[in-house]
Structure 1
Amino acid sequence: MKIIIPNNWFHQLLFILCIAIPYLDIFELTISVWSLAFMLTIQAKYSFSLFKLIIPYAIILILAIVVSFNFDYQKYLIIRDITYLCKPIIGFLVGYQLCRYNLQNAFRLIVKTGVFIAICHLLIILNAIFIFGARTVAEFRFYSGYFSDYEIYTFIILLFHKEFQLNFSKKTLRIFTIIVGFSALMYLARTNFIQFVILFLAIKGYMVINKKSLTIIVSIILTSIVAYSIIVSTNPRRNAEGLEGFLYKIKVAPMEPFKSKINRDDYKDFNDNYRSHENIMTLRQVTRDGATPTVFGKGVGSQIDLKQKVWLGDMELRYISILHNGFMIVFLKTGLLGILIYLFTITYFFRKFKTDKPIVNTINLLFIGTGVFLFVSNWVFLGFYNLTETKSILIGFLIAYREKINNL
């Protein structure tokens, strides 16, 4: 069997590394690899379309830095926050730059990377079960991962392989779809299920408002309400194993990030609604200092006092500077002004991109779905600011691909 090494092997490897490294959950390693990839692929010219997405993120970063001049924060916290706020900007640029070297095999590379990530995840799952004896949903996810936006995107691309013009054989498509689909399912992540539904509906064209799309969306909402009512009526136990444990997570999901009052002395209430506790503390501690912090935030280096120590990952913390909610972290650093700018970044994905090419139109639909999903993602998983997310690279990659294909 003859092994053919492609001319762009290095840039394919670089793309795979940039997508895979964040799954290790070592932020310093992620930002180092992404920064190196940026420097190795830097371009002389960039499109205005890319800058329309990046500039608002840059403004948020600059605003947060300027505001911090009014406070006396630890230098370490300031530098750490700056790198956090830089992450989506670097991701967009790296993805955009790498597309230049992978134009001919763009979607094949995206899919193969997703398959690689999925296989690694399935191996980690086996390790969690047979080595660590994971049984409950909480234990299962602790060892094998909490979510994977990238795999959902890959799964969608595989399901709509004709629209994305994938040229894999039917057998290969079937195998890849099963591997990625099963891996994505086994994260047992409620947000990923929502992401899948949103992106699926978007590619089908149901996010473009018309009578048919409204009928379908209303039907899905009603079905979801009925299904949720059934789950609530079964009253799944909190620490149950397997499916029952997952159903309990679904049961508490609607109120988890939205509760306005948490009993910190009640472990179950506090733990089940921890995201709401972060939001409540952020709003209280930013607004109590007056109008200026409320409007402009408290800058890079600012922290929230949780009023008690909690375990986050493998660390016990009371003061945190990175939250679970993307809107809240922007509010903490840049106030209401930052929130307005941040919302503007989401509107980018709803803007029309004129084309007569089917694959570019499909990418446009995928972007509409991405915009809708960002409202959910930012509320529970920080959106593009999440320390382990990789979709910023994928988005930058697709922006470049859309432009290049549209200009051919």
Structure 2
Amino acid sequence: MIKDFFFLAKPILYTLIGFFLISKIDDKEYLFKVIIYLAFFFAILHIYKTIEFISANDEIDINHLRNHAGRGNVLEVFALVLLLSKKGRELFSFKAKFKRLITAVLILSFICYLSRTNTVSVIILFLGISGYLAITRKGLIYMFNFFLVITALYVYILSINPQRGTPGIEGFLYKIKIAPSEIFDSKIDFEDHVDLWDHWRAYEAQKALEQIHDTPLYSGLFFGKGIGSLVDLEFVAPLNEEGMQYISVLHNGYSFIAFKSGFIGLILFLLFLLTLYKQAYVPSDVPRVIIINYLLSGIAIYYMFTTLIVSGTYNPRDFACIIIGGLLSIRYYLNKNGLKKLN
């Protein structure tokens, strides 16, 4: 129950923490520098673990590599967007010689993650900070081109039909191929672990949605099963050495919210994302405030996507809400003082 409370309150708590911390720091560029330096540190660590795994194995299995070295890092995603986008570079000053080195290390680490989620997240945030996620003529053109490229890539991957368990890049392409079925196809063979893991996200989400109906007068549809409630998988899944039949946290964040707090909680979460997204339409005479508003809007779309795949803000390794709070604090500071730059 304690864990569920803090999980459900995480967006609010992290946003408040981010706002409070940045409000107490005189150098408002500190937030961006922390993101980049921490991302640089984690990138070096990730590259080291990747090299360590490759040197110890003759054949590279993508899943084993990612289990050993890491599956992604949200700070690296934000750091890349800040360093590679024109708008991101306008938010803070950074020494050029260090910027090139850090950017190169971050790009190498990003490639080594072989992460579908990271790849789409970088694109979403890049479009967001550039203002292309707002519903304008230019924004619609960029969004259409993005979906066109994704569709073409997926059609190509289906045409070459990569197989599960193959080493190297083909194993990564297989993960892309099965992405839709991972989310939406919940039919699994309990005895076949291959089939089980390929559809696990959809299966656990389906069980959660089925079980909120199993409440008096269907009250679970409105209020959920409550904090501390567990999803019954209806079989002992090999999630650890002992096996687990009851789980608390789901990959699908929307199902997680609905199961714990019902559709009332889900609507409140969607309103939170909608409020963030609408920041792209908030006018300002301060150029950096406009960029921050665009980035906040991009984070909303980022969360719409990651909540479906890796539980979004409810992922223990996701700190984007602290960044949201920091950005809101910087925006307040700039608006209050009518500043064109941070220092």
What TM-score do you get using the length of structure 2 for normalisation? 0.90
The equivalences for 1:8-47 within 5 A come to none
2:310 maps to 1:371: no
Q: Report the 3-state secondary structure (helix = DSSP H, G, I; strand = E; otherwise coil) of the residue aligned with 1:318.
A: strand
Amino acid at match of 1:330: I
Q: Look up the match of 1:48.
A: none
Q: Do the aligned partners of residues 79 and 231 (structure 1) sit closer, same or farther apart at CA in structure 2, a change above 3 Å counting? A: same
Return the offset for 1:134. 7.7
Contact preservation (8 Å) 1:137, 1:241: yes
> What corresponds to 1:155 in structure 2?
80
Letter in structure 2 aligned against 1:97: F
What is the CA–CA distance in structure 2 between the aligned matches of 1:335 and 1:133, rounded to whole Å? 49
Aligned to 1:58: none
Aligned residue number for residue 113 of structure 1: 38
Shift of 1:133: 7.2
For residues 255-274 of structure 1, the C-alpha deviation after alignment (integer angstroms, 9 at most, x for no partner) is 21112433334432221010
Report the Cα offset of residue 135 of structure 1.
2.0
Distance 1:203 1:314 in 2: 44
Deviation digits for residues 164-197 of structure 1 (CA, Å, limit 9, x no counterpart) = 3432232221111111122122221111111111
Aligned 8 A contact 2:38 2:75 in 1: no
Q: Percent identity?
A: 33
In the other structure, the counterpart of 1:388 is: 317
Residue number among 138, 142, 148 corresponding to 1:222 in the alignment: 148
Match of 1:274 in 2: 200
Q: Which residue does 1:187 correspond to in 2?
A: 113
Partner secondary structure for residue 313 of structure 2 = helix
CA distance in 2, matches of 1:187, 1:315: 29
Task: Give the gaps of 5 or more residues in structure 2.
Answer: 338-343
- Residues 356 and 238 of structure 1: is their aligned pair in 2 closer, same or farther, counting only changes over 3 Å? same
Asked if 2 retains the 8 angstrom alpha-carbon contact of 1:103 and 1:401, the reply is no
Task: Kindly report which structure 2 residues correspond to 1:81-92, keeping only aligned pairs within 5 A, or say none.
Answer: 81-92=4-15
Structure 1 stretch displaced more, 279-288 or 353-362: 353-362
* 2:233 aligned partner: 306
Deviations for 1:379-403, whole angstroms, at most 9, x for unmatched residues? 1111111112111211111111111
Do 1:134 and 1:140's aligned partners in 2 also have CA atoms closer than 8 Å? no
Q: Relative to structure 1, is the Cα distance of residues 159 and 103 closer, same or farther in structure 2, using a 3 angstrom cutoff?
A: farther
* C-alpha RMSD of the superposition: 2.0
C-alpha contact 2:313 2:320 (8 A) present in aligned 1: yes
Q: Structure 1 residue 161: deviation in Å? A: 5.6
2:261 counterpart residue number: 334
Question: How many pairs does the alignment contain?
Answer: 331
Residues 264-304 of structure 1 deviation map (CA, whole Å, 9 limit, x = unaligned): 34432221010000011111111133411122111011001
CA distance in structure 1 between the partners assigned to 2:133 and 2:140 by the alignment: 9
Deviation of 1:241 after TM superposition, in Å, equals: 1.2
In structure 2, how many angstroms separate the alpha carbons of the residues matched to 1:325 and 1:343? 14
2:341 paired residue number = none
1:100 is aligned to 23
Distance in 1 of aligned mates of 2:170 and 2:284: 47
Secondary structure of the corresponding residue to residue 164 of structure 2:
coil
CA distance in 2, matches of 1:204, 1:389: 22
* Residue in 2 that maps onto 1:209: 135
Q: Distance in 1 between matches of 2:294 and 2:241?
A: 39
2:35–2:78 contact (8 Å) kept in structure 1: no
1:156-175 matches, cutoff 5 A = 156-160=81-85, 163-175=89-101
CA distance in 2, matches of 1:248, 1:218: 25
Checking the alignment, whether the CA contact within 8 Å between 2:205 and 2:255 is kept in structure 1 is yes
What amino acid is the match of 2:203?
H
Please report the TM-score for the alignment, with normalisation by the length of structure 1: 0.76
Unaligned runs of 5+ in 1: 1-77
**Aligned residues of 1:309 and 1:317 also touching (Cα < 8 A):** yes
In 2: Cα distance, 1:313 partner to 1:88 partner: 28
| Matched ranges for 1:41-80 at <5 A | 78-80=1-3
Q: State the shift of 1:130 in Å.
A: 3.4
1:168 partner SS? coil
Question: Residue 261 of structure 1: which of 181, 187, 195 is its match?
Answer: 187
SS in 2 for 1:254: helix
Change (3 A) 1:339 1:210: same
TM-superposed CA distance for 1:313, in Å, is 6.7
Asked whether the 8 Å contact 2:187–2:199 carries over to 1, the reply is no
* CA distance in 2: counterparts of 1:103 and 1:161, whole angstroms: 25
- 1:34 is matched with which residue? none
Label 1:195 to 1:348 Cα distance change in 2 as closer, same or farther (>3 A): same
What is the rounded CA distance, in whole Å, between the counterparts of 1:134 and 1:314 in structure 2?
26
Distance 2:336 2:239 in 1: 47
Match of 1:264, SS? coil
Distance in 2 between residues matched to 1:197 and 1:246, nearest whole Å: 18
Give secondary structure in 2 for the equivalent of 1:328.
Answer: helix
Distance 1:135 1:315 in 2: 28
Task: Single out whichever of 396-405 and 244-253 deviates more from structure 2.
Answer: 396-405
